[in-house]
A and B are shown apart, each in its own frame.
Chain A
Amino acid sequence: NAGVTQTPKFQVLKTGQSMTLQCAQDMNHEYMSWYRQDPGMGLRLIHYSVGAGITDQGEVPNGYNVSRSTTEDFPLRLLSAAPSQTSVYFCASRRGGGGRTGELFFGEGSRLTVL
């Protein structure tokens, strides 16, 4: 069982370039989300999705786009990279509904450097 898979693990971009971070989960989870992790700031929510075709903004959405065409995939697009987007990005998923679960399953992270 692969869980949540993120690619690439490392990426270096120049300012103004665009790229897509890929995320896939094989647990049939309804909810998926993207976080960025920065020193001293914990994890901050960028975008999230509650199902295929439905996405919404988190705390820090500017400069990022997402789409959810299938239950499994939730790519994060950087439209025009800026040095402030240098960070470690985590994709996470969890079961939806009102059940007594709710813990997040995380990918291994994508470390992005913008020069």
Chain B
Amino acid sequence: AQSVAQPEDQVNVAEGNPLTVKCTYSVSGNPYLFWYVQYPNRGLQFLLKYITGDNLVKGSYGFEAEFNKSQTSFHLKKPSALVSDSALYFCAVRPIRLRGGYQKVTFGIGTKLQVIP
């Protein structure tokens, strides 16, 4: 069974400092990996994804994520945090489809990012 672990319930970072939100995963075969952001009382919004290729993936709002196959990790990063980045962040995994069928997406429990002015 596939799973996603987000080991930190909350990450606090000062505005202007770099931020990292951690994610590790477990899946059979090669993964599709995703990060989503949820602002209060809103739905989830797609930030970025890893399919294949370059291990460093760039996404929306200046976020990036680094895929590390040996450590089965997909940490979300941003060089300089903004107060407006404060939100709930979800990591998600889906196995790459080899032949036919629906592949389910599994989400982590979410990490609350608090950027302090």
Contact = CB atoms under 8 A, between A and B. Distances in A.
Interface in B18-53: 32, 34, 36, 41-46, 49, 51
Given A48-B104, A106-B43, A42 B110 contact: yes
A92 B36 CA distance: 13
Contact of A58 (B41, B104, B108): B104
Contact of A109 (B43, B49, B90, B107): B43
B102 interface: yes
Nearest to A107: B43
B105 interface: yes
B69 interface: no
A42 B46 contact: no
Contacts of A98: 97
Contact of B44 (A56, A100, A102, A106): A106
A35 B109 CA distance: 13
B104 A104 contact: no
B90 A106 contact: no
Residue from B43, B46, B104 whose CB has the most chain A CB atoms within 10 Å: B43
Contacts of B108: 42
Contacts of A45: 104-105
Residue from A56, A105, A106 whose CB has the most chain B CB atoms within 10 Å: A106
Q: Which of the four size classes fits the interface of chain A?
A: 20 to 34
Contacts of B107: 35, 42-43
Contacts of A31: 102
Interface string A49-79: 0100000101000000000000000000000
Contacts of A108: 42-43
A58 B90 CA distance: 19
7 contacts: A58-B104, A100-B51, A102-B49, A102-B51, A104-B34, A104-B44, A104-B105
Given A41-B109, A92-B44, 6 more contacts: A35-B107, A42-B107, A42-B109, A43-B107, A98-B97, A103-B34
Interface of B: 4, 32, 34, 36, 41-46, 49, 51, 90, 94, 97, 102, 104-105, 107-110
